[in-house]
Amino acid sequence: MATVIGNLFDVKGRIALVTGGSSGIGLMIAKALVTNGARVIITALPTDPIDAAVRDLNALGRPSGGTAEGFPTDLSSKPAIAALAAHLTDTLRLPRLDVLVSNAGIRRDPPAPCAVTAAALPELQASMWSHRAADWADTFAVNTTAHYFLSVALVHLLAAAAERDVEAVQVSAAPEGGGEGGIKLGHMLMGAVYVWMEAEFL
């Protein structure tokens, strides 16, 4: 796998927020941004290795002037999202947000798992039915609702970026909408993204 991300794109001086940025795809995106000179704020659950991720990101960004900082939070509630927005606006005093990568997500497996592609229909049905309603609600809150309210909470910073000579870019799981206030909404179809990343960088 490629380990040098440099020179993929010019983001020097841009400000980016990557949720779920301490591991997985979120960390990969954050690495690309800091390596190319961006200021990156990552969020992750308080139990995630956010401090270690920030240290690694700052080391990667040092040659190009890229920096990273972290904000531990659980984005499954509106108060937590409001606190993040206040941190960016009032504490960090960000003038704008050029890139929002709304990547945070969770997965809750059913108590009775099965091999989905190989299971007989009755077994698959029983496995799906075993999902706890609370787990399903938590998954929807983080993987769907949080993306919407985060975008709303930060729209003033995204609009401020769109008013400059650069385009604000928001990457999220939303199936439609966006574009208001000059904000470019990137709809991430993950299967296509994986194929493209494999072709380019593996």
Q: Which domain holds residue 37?
A: 15-110+146-201
Q: How far apart are CA 68 and CA 16, in angstroms?
A: 9
DSSP 34-98: HHTT-EEEEEE-TTS-HHHHHHHHHHHHGGGT-EEEEEE--TTSHHHHHHHHHIIIIIS--S--S
**pLDDT at res. 40:** 98
Residue 74: inside a domain: yes
- What's the mean per-residue pLDDT of the chain? 83
| Of residues 7 and 80, more confidently modeled | 80
**What does the pLDDT look like over 56-81, one tens digit per residue?**
999 999 999 999 999 999 999 999 99
Q: Return all residues near 84 (Cβ < 8 A) that are at least 6 apart.
A: 43, 71, 73, 75, 150, 153
> For the chain, how many structural domains are there in total?
1
* Residue type for position 151: S
Q: Which whole number is the average pLDDT over 166-182?
A: 49
2, two tokens = 């490629």
Q: Is residue 23 in some structural domain?
A: yes
Is 124 part of any domain? Answer: no
User: At 190, which helix (H) or strand (E)?
Assistant: helix 190-201
35, 114 contact by CB (below 8 A): no
- Cβ atoms of 42 and 18 closer than 8 Å: yes
What CATH number is associated with residue 37?
3.40.50.720
Q: Which residue has the higher pLDDT, 7 or 151?
A: 151
Q: Kindly state whether residue 3 falls inside one of the protein's structural domains.
A: no
Q: Is residue 194 part of a domain?
A: yes
| 37, 64 contact by CB (below 8 A) | yes
In a domain, 22, yes or no: yes
Single pTM value for the model: 0.79
Residue 1 in any domain: the answer is no
Write the pLDDT tens digit of every residue in 8-59: 567 899 999 999 999 999 999 999 999 999 999 999 999 999 999 999 999 9
Q: Is residue 197 part of a domain?
A: yes
The pLDDT tens digits for 100-112 are 999 988 888 899 9
